[in-house]
A and B are shown apart, each in its own frame.
Chain A
């Protein structure tokens, strides 16, 4: 017979069961919570992982983008990165062309090469037109799950043939300016998750910045290269003074700077009424044959236009430009042509022409400005070269004139000698043989004839000496002035003694020059001093010399009658003599002194006042032999 369990035991078991259940439930809930937590963590972990991935990807992308400054490289790179990031079949980068006012495809790519390569019939999309246009106009991204259902979608071929139905389009904006649209497309079904959308937007702003930087870089590069080009041109064309060379360099530099195939430089020659090709660069044979002087009528319209308006004339395509249907270009496949008149100070020198063969070239504002700058420099260089040539020509002409004059003086003086010999001779014969037949008066006349012929001879000799200076074939040598002056004073011993003149000679050095000429200088100055010594109580003539730096200064000083200041310049002129004194002299002496000193590189002048003596000073360069 089962005995009943004692009550306490039963209670105990019950409590135990309840506790167990509570424990179990607690553990169960905890486990569940843990599990849920774990699941959540896992999910979060995965999410974070993806996020990190995206960040990494984005980082990678921006690094890639900032490394590229070449605009041509950056567009395909953007497309490629976008395609990788989003695993997109087709990616199109639309860029806004301000000049044309439309969006054009800058680059295209995608994981699906075939689809990506498929062309689009819409090469240019206006802002607002279609889906892409709308995105650009509104500056808002659009994510379309099924393109087929969107009436704005224009490129049906992609959707129909390739099944590309998923679309994400993000505007590229920088500082409120629309740069373009990045269109990422994929085969459906697929949705772009929010994370992916964020990623795309982030990427788009990176891309916009990168594009902006690249363009900036390109502009800076271009400015720099243009400045360099300009500098190099200026350097090049101012490096030569030869007119022909300058024109050649201008043609070459302009062609290089603007990427032209050939260049010619036409100059207006008023003298012959022609427009003459003066220089050229890379001129093809066909054009070379036509590079002949042109009459005004034969000048192609483009050139005449440029000359007339003094403005650049640009023909983008000569073959279709109604202005330039000219025989001058027939048979010559020029497409683009730029004519830039070269003018300065209101005068047109000519025109520079740049040619582009077989292709059409668009010139930017910058390039036209550069051309204008080049033309300006060319004009200046030409003006300079012209002035130089003129100056040189004038110098040559002057030299020739001088030589002519010298030669003339020489010949005349020389030819006058012969009759002089006769007059003198006959007069002397008269005096000798026929003295008896002449009375005193007659003899007096004969003496006057003789005296005057002698004067004439002195004059002729002086003129001959004057004309010879500068044409001297003799070589310069070291001349001891002390000896020279001594000799001359010896020659003048008689008049010095007669008039009681004292001569004082200081320390004289050595001058390098033609001995005969230095003799003439001192002889003329000293004989002048004697001639004009006047009646003073203690007549004195001093000769001295001092050196300063590389220049010697010599002087001849006298206590004579002096020369009034207003005549200080005139005395050096030919045939000028002081009237006060009945002196023998030709009036050429000081002119000879001046010419010799100046030919030697020195300067001569006089310090004097009436009644207070005279000092003639002249400088003479020392130093290396002249």
Chain B
């Protein structure tokens, strides 16, 4: 599963501290993955559509997994989610909501908008790391990605 291991992950997180902690958690574990980090919803879409500062495909490889925070400036997390899922070319990318919220309404809303998974950030850091790793392990190792995506990933990582 080398191809999966070389999968790119897009992290959409506005809080730099949380982003740092998340990426640290993702990095631990010897699973080589490239994590791209964007700070808001608009940047996320720019990345996915390869426009503006992400026009160069080299800077915006097609991600095999998106970790998406709910509260984002400029474009709200749910809105980003809806747009991704509305787009034929992006729909098949699994999106995992990674957020502090644990409100049932927001969980329901996320699934309605097409989220593949919903994960609450725990306060205790050890739990946090544990959880992030579990998420990654599942999606990267256990889960099988769609064919189309794999081809893209392969293409991307081949670059």
Contacts and interface: CB of A to CB of B under 8 A. Distances in A.
A82 B126 CA distance: 120
A429 B28 CA distance: 12
A388 B60 CA distance: 66
Most buried by A among B104, B125, B128: B125
A406 interface: no
Interface string B78-106: 00000000000000000000001101100
B100 A457 contact: no
Contact of A429 (B21, B104, B121): B21
Given A414-B101, A473-B104, A429 B125 contact: yes
B114 to A, nearest CB: 22
A428 B126 contact: yes
B3 interface: no
Given A428-B125, A429-B125, A422 B100 contact: no
Interface residues of A, number: 18
A457 B125 contact: no
A457 B124 contact: yes
Contacts of B100: 414, 417-418, 421
B116 interface: no
Interface string B11-29: 0000101100100100000
B123 interface: yes
A510 B150 CA distance: 54
A86 B116 CA distance: 115
A477 to B, nearest CB: 17
B101 A425 contact: no
B17 A424 contact: no
B109 to A, nearest CB: 13
B123 A453 contact: yes
A454 B126 CA distance: 12
A363 B98 CA distance: 83
B123 A426 contact: no
A418 B128 contact: no
A426 B24 CA distance: 11
Contact of A421 (B18, B24, B104, B126): B18
A421 B128 contact: yes
Contacts of A456: 123
A372 B50 CA distance: 85
A456 B125 CA distance: 14
A425 B17 contact: yes
Contact of A427 (B104, B121, B122, B125): B125
Interface residues on B, range: 10 to 19
Interface string B105-132: 0000000000000000111111010000
A450 B127 CA distance: 13
Contacts of B103: 414
Contact of A424 (B24, B104, B125): B125
B135 to A, nearest CB: 16
Given A414-B101, A421-B100, A473-B104, A457 B24 contact: no
A622 interface: no
A144 interface: no
Contact of A418 (B15, B24, B104, B126): B15
Contacts of B126: 428
Contacts of B15: 418, 422
Nearest to B100: A417
Contacts of B124: 424, 454, 457
A420 interface: yes
Given A414-B100, A429-B24, A420 B123 contact: yes
A468 to B, nearest CB: 9
A411 B21 CA distance: 24
Contact of A417 (B17, B24, B104, B123): B123
Interface string A397-414: 000000000000000001
A421 B101 contact: no
A454 B104 contact: no
B101 A424 contact: no
B104 A425 contact: no
Contacts of B125: 424-425, 427-429, 450
Interface in B136-150: none
A425 B124 CA distance: 7
Contacts of A454: 123-124
A444 B128 CA distance: 22
A62 B21 CA distance: 115
A457 B122 CA distance: 9
A418 B18 contact: yes
Contacts of B101: 414
Interface in B11-52: 15, 17-18, 21, 24
A456 B124 CA distance: 11
A422 B17 contact: yes
A422 B104 contact: no
A429 B20 CA distance: 11
Contacts of A422: 15, 17-18, 21
A421 B17 CA distance: 9
Nearest to B16: A422
A414 B104 CA distance: 13
A43 B36 CA distance: 146
A1 B126 CA distance: 203
A426 B104 contact: no
8 contacts: A414-B100, A424-B124, A425-B125, A426-B21, A428-B126, A429-B21, A453-B123, A454-B124
Given A417-B123, A421-B128, A457-B123, 20 more contacts: A414-B103, A417-B100, A418-B18, A420-B123, A421-B21, A421-B121, A421-B122, A422-B17, A422-B18, A422-B21, A424-B125, A424-B128, A425-B18, A427-B125, A428-B125, A429-B24, A429-B125, A453-B123, A454-B124, A457-B124
Interface of B: 15, 17-18, 21, 24, 100-101, 103-104, 121-126, 128
The 6 closest A-B CB pairs, nearest first, are: A428-B125, A422-B17, A425-B21, A457-B123, A417-B100, A425-B125
